[in-house]
Amino acid sequence: MSRSGIVTNVPEHTPLVACFGEGLIALVPTSTGPLEDVRTFERSLAGAEWNVAIALASAHTPSAVISRLGDDGFGRFLLSALDEHGVDTSAIEIDPTAPTGLYVKELGPATQGVLASSMHYYRAMSAATRITPALLETPAVQRVLAKARLVHTTGITPAISDGARAAQDALFAERGDRLISFDLNWRPMLWEGREDEAREVLGGYMARADIVQCSSSDAAALFGTSDAAALRAAFPAPRYLVVTREDGSVAFDGAERVDAPALDATVVETIGAGDAFAAGFLAGVLAGLSLAGCVARAHRLATRVLGTTRDHVD
């Protein structure tokens, strides 16, 4: 495998997906309980868009990450982790002074076998918060975008800084013939006190994307409804709209609708499963599968995350 990390056993014509957003170090406790009682943690990769890139690569769909990292040990670990999973890292810029962001996971007691987890973020002033539209003009990023058939973004990136939001706006405005995928990924802590702004900004991305995914709980929190038909009526422009629920998902391709139940799987924790689901759906779209086939592939990939406390496909 080359430094670019492209999976070598995939035909050259397979589309490349460029995932734009912040990568984070996740420190995951080795035991449940409040953080003040936890003595040891395991280090792992996190970040919604990065999880999607890894899951895509595992599904034999070449992927790349566009982002920034600190020139530190955590940043080097994240680069290495992407390389190991076959993700192109050539469009990740290294910041010599700002740190790599991280979050600490807190594992609460399990209910019916599923851990209740919460996240504590330490990403203020990270290298990724210094993303601006200038990043997109660098030769490395331009090379990735020139190959990309699809760009995947989420509602997290525009919340971390004004520069990152401007860069995401630029990706939408300068899309060319690339498809745009947008996952709502509502993070209320990042938008605290700016909920009305978030509704306008994130709703605008949903209206302009080609492929939109959201959980029913996120949609209810931001738009006041979890009903898939109501959401489709509110956002008729995207060709694909997918709403995930605890018991399954509802997907639209134009007027076509598919309802799919969740697959039976051992569930340890749900964090990251939505990213794997998103990747499976995108892989299906790019492979030319039917709507039902895309949804089935999404559910299968999501089950690979549910049985672990890691956020991404192993």
User: Which parts of 179-267 are beta strand (E)?
Assistant: 179-183, 211-215, 240-245, 248-253, 256-261
Residue 14 has pLDDT above 60, yes or no: no
- Pick the catalytic residue from 247, 275, 311, 314: 275
| Residue ranges of domains in the chain, CATH in brackets | 16-306 (3.40.1190.20)
Residue 9 has pLDDT above 80, yes or no: no
Report the alpha-carbon distance of residue 54 to residue 85 in Å, rounded: 6
Q: Which residues contact 215 (CB under 8 A, 6 or more apart)?
A: 184, 243, 244, 245, 274
Which amino acid appears at position 11 of this protein?
A: P
CA-angle at 243, arms to 216 and 13, nearest 5°:
145
Residue 48 near residue 21, CB atoms below 8 Å? yes
Name the pLDDT band for 102 (thresholds 50, 70, 90).
very high
φ, ψ at 272 (rounded to 5°): 95, -20
Look-up: residue for tokens 């995939």? 10
CA-angle at 251, arms to 23 and 257, nearest 5°:
170
Residue 67 near residue 171, CB atoms below 8 Å? no
Q: What is the pLDDT of residue 306?
A: 55
Residue 23 has pLDDT above 60, yes or no: yes
Residue 132 has pLDDT above 80, yes or no: yes
Q: In Å, how far from its chain's centre is CA 298?
A: 13
275 labelled catalytic: yes
Q: What is the pLDDT of residue 1?
A: 27
Instruction: Kindly report the pTM of this predicted structure.
Output: 0.89
Report the alpha-carbon distance of residue 309 to residue 314 in Å, rounded: 11
Residue 8 has pLDDT above 60, yes or no: no
When pLDDT is averaged across residues 258-280 and rounded to a whole number, the result is 75
Residue 6 has pLDDT above 50, yes or no: no
φ, ψ at 297 (rounded to 5°): -65, -40
Q: Which residues contact 236 (CB under 8 A, 6 or more apart)?
A: none
Residue 25 has pLDDT above 80, yes or no: yes
Q: What is the pLDDT of residue 281?
A: 96
